[in-house]
Amino acid sequence: MPLKNGAEQSDASGSMPKSQRTKIIKSSDDSEKKNLAKKIKDTEICVPIVYGNIAFWLGKKASEYQSHKWTVYVRGSTNEDLGVVVKRAVFQLHSSFNNPTRIIDSPPFELSESGWGEFEIAITLHFHSDVSDKPLHLFHHLKLYPEDESGPLSTKKPVVVESYDEVVISEPSEALFARLQHHPAIIVPRLPAGFTLPPVPIEDLENRNRGGTKDHNPLNQWFSKFSEADELLRLAAAREQVQGHIARLRRQLSLIDGQQQQQLKTASDM
């Protein structure tokens, strides 16, 4: 799965986000080669996903080895159910945990634990067979403490660190396109006028209409918003910050240059 560059990561401290774009290409077996005519050529389906963690300090209930309760997750960018494309999520925790390999077979793809230390969590997404037969490997560094370590810890405001990614499905089958085209978590292109897709099986419609975590997850209020407008605002803020930094450096360089010239003039007058 080749990765395309990007930059979008969000955390509670407001630091610049990080993103990437992951293209998945389903390998063809003999049965698929017979059905190549059913592939939609030069077409890509985009599945925006967000993965990260939210951590709550336990306050007076905190102990030396149980200071935070945290949840690590993979979700749709606007909190929709990803079960339409993701079959299973595997979270690999630190070896000090009991049963460090946690398998989640249905949405929401998340798990909660408690502890005191930060570490890297490997996340493996397994897709439904018509999406991809290759898993997607993600890595997230569990964050428990805010960036501003000098500030007081709060039991009311959690630490949230998330990364945005886009899973790109190249040349989907007509059946897959039909199954995904009206799902709120999926971005699909327009097909040519008159293009006819096969009917969607009843069970797929029921699964799609069942919804997901968008309106039922109590953590939603803390999740970062990854929209085009938000991204533009973040980019504008970052650009303004960089321009201010450049202006300060120019003033410092001008001051240094003036001091050097004054020293040279003084030396020449002696």
**Upper half-sphere CA count for residue 199 (Cβ side, 13 Å):** 3
Q: How confident is the model at residue 11 (pLDDT cuts 50, 70, 90)?
A: low
Provide the pLDDT for residue 267: 73
Residue 36: pLDDT over 50: no
* pTM as predicted: 0.70
Nearest to residue 211, comparing CAs of 120, 128, 121, 107?
Answer: 107
Provide the pLDDT for residue 202: 61
**Coil vs helix vs strand at 135:** coil
Provide the pLDDT for residue 126: 97
Cβ neighbours of 56 (radius 10 Å): 19
Q: Between 129 and 240, whose confidence is greater? A: 129
Query: Tens digit of pLDDT for each residue in 195-206?
Result: 778 777 666 555
Provide the pLDDT for residue 77: 84
HEC sequence for 183-240 = CCCCECCCCCCCCCCCCCCHHHHHHHHCCCCCCCCCCHHHCCCCCHHHHHHHHHHHHH
Q: Between 248 and 194, whose confidence is greater? A: 248
Q: Which two tokens stand for residue 120?
A: 């890297």
Residue 229: pLDDT over 80: no
Q: How confident is the model at residue 129 (pLDDT cuts 50, 70, 90)?
A: very high
Question: Which residues neighbour 198 within 8 Å (Cβ) at sequence distance 6 or greater?
Answer: 174, 175, 178
Mean of pLDDT values over 27-31 = 50
Identity of residue 97: F
Query: Tens digit of pLDDT for each residue in 154-178?
Result: 888 899 999 989 899 999 999 899 8
Answer yes or no: are the C-beta atoms of 51 and 140 closer than 8 Å: yes
Residue 1: pLDDT over 50: no
Q: Compute the distance between CA of residue 113 and CA of residue 96 in angstroms, rounded to an integer.
A: 12
Provide the pLDDT for residue 257: 82
Question: Which residues neighbour 231 within 8 Å (Cβ) at sequence distance 6 or greater?
Answer: 8, 17
Mean of pLDDT values over 31-51 = 75
Residue 142: pLDDT over 80: yes
Provide the pLDDT for residue 24: 66
